[in-house]
Structure 1
């Protein structure tokens, strides 16, 4: 059943994945469009942040909830857009923006610290996004599928109550993804600062 479901939804997964990838590329290209003053400001910010990073001084509880709420907002917005017939473009925009944020972040690190920035991106950006991106893919495809189902039910005037089971399934999927994101927030709160602390001492702007 799972294999059949994935096979049926492969075009949607491919489309959303390509959209995310386009966002990553666009975000990386945006770095080259920054002015010299903007690049210098970013360089100073990154340098001060990573060189003064002290994992032991992090307020774990406050940091966890801050990260968790930020991650849950993405999935929450995707769920909300999926409930609306006109929310389909919003889902795709969110996926593209997520790609832009990732591409811009990595592009800034590499631009300021060269290969060391790539190493920093591998320990600060890549680990949690290896889980976040699949979560967003699954959530987005579920939202797109539910939104399309809503459109079909309105067009073909399906019988009342026919949307209840798909809604419960859709909401259950989103809740499952949200639980996974809480685990990701734990990783970002207590593991990522340690990994960045190992790499930070070797950073010097190029």
Structure 2
């Protein structure tokens, strides 16, 4: 009960930072969609040509093993979270944290926007099957990680400027909580990795095969 109360107090105290990260991510999505709409017809056709080739390869050949996708996905999440963790410790890395969260939104917005733009309702269904399931969990994980990184950086700056840095508990306790929080996020990131490997991948391949059947 106390832990739940502490979490609620934490989110209330730093609500502004979490809202800022959410807005930053949503701004990235909007920019991704704008980039799709601002692309010239030839650029879209060139990019879609490579996308269709990828779809055709998936349809004609055996897809990548789910175990390989799981391994790649887990390592990707660990690297991304570790980068956010280190940037939070560095203080000067805070702007890079903002860029990473923005870019995550940009990639999601562009990917979904481009697929829907080119394939219409089929693209919407494809994005729903292949992109949405894991990102429902991944996006909150990254937003929380970015927020924790920002919170820790700001806390370090406050201690530096107010000269309250000491070797006692005030420095150690927040650092332990910071490590623990990121360790929990890494463990939780296994869930979207499993979803991507064994649910989204299978659904995407099946749907692509229905769109691009083997001749």
Corresponding residue of 2:131: 125
Q: Structure 1's 77 and 18: CA in aligned 2 closer, same or farther, altered over 3 A?
A: same
Determine if the alignment matches structure 1 residue 62 to structure 2 residue 68: yes
Match of 1:8 among 2, 6, 13: 13
Match of 1:42 among 41, 47, 50: 47
- Using the TM superposition, give the Cα deviation of residue 58 of structure 1 relative to its aligned residue in structure 2, in angstroms: 2.2
CA separation in 1, counterparts of 2:43 and 2:94?
Answer: 34
- Using the TM superposition, give the Cα deviation of residue 56 of structure 1 relative to its aligned residue in structure 2, in angstroms: 5.9
Detail structure 1 runs of 4+ shifted over 6 Å in the superposition.
none
Corresponding residue of 1:170: 178
Corresponding residue of 2:97: 91
Corresponding residue of 1:150: 156
CA separation in 1, counterparts of 2:25 and 2:36?
Answer: 17
- Using the TM superposition, give the Cα deviation of residue 75 of structure 1 relative to its aligned residue in structure 2, in angstroms: 1.1
What do you get for the CA RMSD once the two structures are aligned?
Answer: 1.8
CA contact (8 A) 1:113 1:203 kept: no
Corresponding residue of 1:200: 208
Deviates more, 1:47-56 or 1:130-139: 47-56
Gaps of 5+ in 1: none
Scaled by the length of structure 1, the TM-score of the pair is 0.91
Corresponding residue of 1:185: 193
CA contact (8 A) 2:63 2:205 kept: no
- Using the TM superposition, give the Cα deviation of residue 33 of structure 1 relative to its aligned residue in structure 2, in angstroms: 2.8
Match of 1:77 among 65, 72, 83: 83
Q: Deviations over 1:36-65 (max 9, x none)?
A: 333122212222323442696422333222
- Using the TM superposition, give the Cα deviation of residue 93 of structure 1 relative to its aligned residue in structure 2, in angstroms: 0.8
Corresponding residue of 2:110: 104
Q: Deviations over 1:87-115 (max 9, x none)?
A: 11111111000000000100110111011
CA separation in 2, counterparts of 1:111 and 1:57?
Answer: 25
CA separation in 2, counterparts of 1:71 and 1:159?
Answer: 32
Q: Deviations over 1:7-37 (max 9, x none)?
A: 1121111111010000001011111233333
Deviates more, 1:15-24 or 1:69-78: 69-78
CA separation in 2, counterparts of 1:95 and 1:57?
Answer: 30
Deviates more, 1:171-180 or 1:34-43: 34-43
Scaled by the length of structure 2, the TM-score of the pair is 0.87
Match of 2:90, SS? coil
